[in-house]
Amino acid sequence: MYKVFVNDIPIIVSTQKEIGEKYTSFPLKSVRLKKVIRKIVKGKLHYVNLYHPDESKLLKLLLKKMKVVTAAGGMVMNAQKEILFIYRNNRWDLPKGRTEKNESIENSAIREVEEETGVQDLEIKRFITCTYHVFKRKGKLRLKETYWYEMYTEYDGELVPEVKEGIKKAKWKNFQKSQKALRKSYANIKMLFPEKFLAGKSEDRVA
């Protein structure tokens, strides 16, 4: 199963035709996805399920539905177990950005985090997951596929938010402050954190 977020509303992509009474289901192979997205934006649809019986084909079929923009970013932790957040568009977010041509996903993730926050000496610990959300570019709908990595650094220098990208703040946040920030974040960002962390029950490994 996958989730594609339109603002904070998830489109479910699954192998099940029926997942609940609230959901309107469409066959993934033939659905006019942009039309469905526009209905969601207008408030005409709230619960959407796109289905196909073969789980191995779900992602392939989804990525054919609209132009895909590949991005990468990081959940960065320091020696104090603080997490690096950015503040943009009145929401707390994690640093990420578009992958450049002929650039590896991992190098893209490190570069974007460094550019958006000023942090240095990043080490990728592991891949977390991919998230998917819909956005508009020059009036056209696009699907962003973002690769997320858990990163570590002992950098304790000044953080410099990338103002030209609309980032107003770059901040290290401890366990309690991270929870508070996530209440004013995006649904796809919350997906990167385990339920115990979101519920305030664990300060250990967050990814």
In contact, 108 and 55? CB cutoff 8 Å: no
Q: Domain 68-198 has what CATH class? A: alpha beta
- Across the range 36-54, mean pLDDT stands at 97
Confidence of residue 109 (pLDDT cuts 50, 70, 90): very high
pLDDT at 205 over 70: no
- Per the prediction, the chain carries an average pLDDT of 94
% of the chain with per-residue pLDDT over 90: 91
| 47: three-class secondary structure by DSSP | coil
Q: What is the pLDDT of residue 164?
A: 97
pLDDT at 202 over 70: no
Higher pLDDT, 195 or 124: 124
* Phi, psi of 156, deg, nearest 5: -125, 20
Confidence of residue 197 (pLDDT cuts 50, 70, 90): confident
Domain range summary for the chain, segments of one domain joined by +? 2-63, 68-198
Tokens 């891949």, residue? 127
pLDDT in tens, 149-173: 999 999 999 999 999 999 999 999 9
pLDDT in tens, 46-86: 999 999 999 999 999 999 999 999 999 999 999 999 999 99
Confidence of residue 190 (pLDDT cuts 50, 70, 90): very high
Q: Letter for the amino acid at 33?
A: L
Helix (H) / strand (E) element for 189: namely helix 187-190
- In the chain, helix, strand, coil percent, each to 5? 25, 35, 40
